[in-house]
Amino acid sequence: MADKVRIRMTVNGLEQRGEVEPRMLLVHYLRETLGLTGTHIGCDTSQCGACVVHVDGQAVKSCTLFAVQADGSSVTTIEGLVKDGQYHPVQEGFWEKHGLQCGFCTPGMIMAAADLLNKNSNPTDAEIRHALEGNLCRCTGYQNIVLAVQYAAAKMRGEPVTGAAD
């Protein structure tokens, strides 16, 4: 076992310092060391995207990065997405459009979708589907996820949106 390495990063706005094994994956650091269990693990081959977080503003599969590689960076997880008690528009879209069932893929899906909308404020359906190709959902068949992202995009552009009946 290699010696532990000191790391330091900002996670959801709080500074975190610690010592980790060099081989520790970022996802395990977040989940097990920091207790941020909203970031999930759905595979062992970097396919599923359940583990997506933002590192310095970019969507990253946290199972594909060692914690030491995120040293010095600023990480946002699903737990850090609510601002001033308000849902991020993507979170709101997933709720309004029934974009989730079991919820296991949802944190990664939301983080990936938020990243897309940072780069493209008015994506087409095809662009949304393409951007989410690294995120697998087994429950929804994706249609409501696309609708959820459209809802969020419209909302972020300041356009009127329609939600569920309630």
Partner 1 sequence: MAEVTKMIGKAIKRREDPRLIQGRGNYVDDIKLPGMTYAAVVRSPYAHAKIKGIDVSRALAHPGVLAVYVGEDMLDINPLPAAWQAGGVKNVAVTPRALAVGKVTHVGDGVALVIAEDRYTARDAVDLVEVEYEPLPAVVDARKATEPGAPLVHEAAANNICMEWECGDAARTSAAIASAEVVVKEEIINQRLIPTPMETRGSLARYDVATGEFTVWMTSQAPHVMRLLLTAFVFGIPETRLRCIAPNVGGGFGQKIFCYADMAFTMWASRKLGRPVKYIEDRSENYKTSTHGRDHVTEVELAGTRDGKVTGLRVKTWANLGGYFSTIAAGIPTTLYGRILTGVYKIPAAHCKVWGTYTNTALVDAYRGAGRPEASYLIERMMDRFAAEIGMDPAEVRRRNYIQPQDFPYDNGLGLLTYDSGNYEPALNKALQMVDYQNFRHEQAEARKQGRYLGLGLSSYVEICGVAPSAWIGAAGQGWGAGLFESANVRVHLTGKVVVTTGSLPHGQGVETTFAQILADELGVPYEDVTIEWGDTLAAPFGYGTYGSRSLAVGGMAMHRSAQKIKEKAKIIAAHMLEAAPEDMVFENGRAFVKGSPDKAKTLAEIALQASLAYSLPQGTEPFLDETTYYDPPNCTFPFGTHIAIVEVDPATGKVDLKRYVGVDDVGNIINPLIVEGQLHGGIAQGVAQALYEHGFYDDEGQLLSGTMLEYAIPTAAMLPWYELEHTVTPSPVNPMGVKGAGEAGTIGSAQAVMNAVIDALSHLGVKHMQMPATPERVWRTIQSSKQAAD
**Of 18, 69, 142, 161, the one binding partner 1 by CB under 8 A:** 142
* Residue among 162, 112, 164 nearest 137 (CA): 112
Work out whether 42 is an interface residue with ligand FES (CB under 6 A): yes
Which one of residues 19, 71, 102, 143 is an interface residue with ligand FES (CB under 6 A)? 102
Q: Cα 145 to chain center, whole Å? A: 14
Phi, psi angle pair for 27, to nearest 5°: -60, -40
Given ligand FES, partner 1, none, residue 133, with its beta carbon under 5 to 8 Å by kind, binds partner 1
Asked if 140 is part of the footprint of ligand FES (rule: CB under 6 A), the reply reads yes
CB 8 within 8 A of CB 17: yes
Among 110, 104, 119, which Cα is nearest to 148's?
A: 110
**Cα atoms found within 13 Å of the Cα of residue 126, Cβ hemisphere only:** 0
Stretch that binds ligand FES, among 2-10, 45-53, 122-130, 152-160 (CB under 6 A): 45-53
The residue from 48, 53, 90, 113 that contacts ligand FES (CB under 6 A) is 48
Residue 76 contacts partner 1 per CB under 8 A: no
CA atoms of 132 and 124, how far apart (whole Å): 12
Phi/psi of residue 5, nearest 5 degrees = -120, 140
Nearest distance, CB of residue 64 and ligand FES, angstroms: 6
27-56-7 Cα angle (round to 5): 55
Question: CB-wise, 72 or 130, nearer to partner 1?
Answer: 130
Q: How far is the CB of 121 from partner 1 (least distance, A)?
A: 19
Q: Applying CB under 8 A, which part among 31-39, 68-76, 116-124, 152-160 lies near partner 1?
A: 31-39
Alpha helices in 21-124 (DSSP H): 26-28, 89-96, 106-119
Residues that bind partner 1 (CB under 8 A): 1, 21, 23-24, 28, 31-32, 35-45, 47-48, 50, 77-79, 81-82, 87, 91, 94-96, 98, 100-107, 110, 126, 128-130, 132-146, 163-166
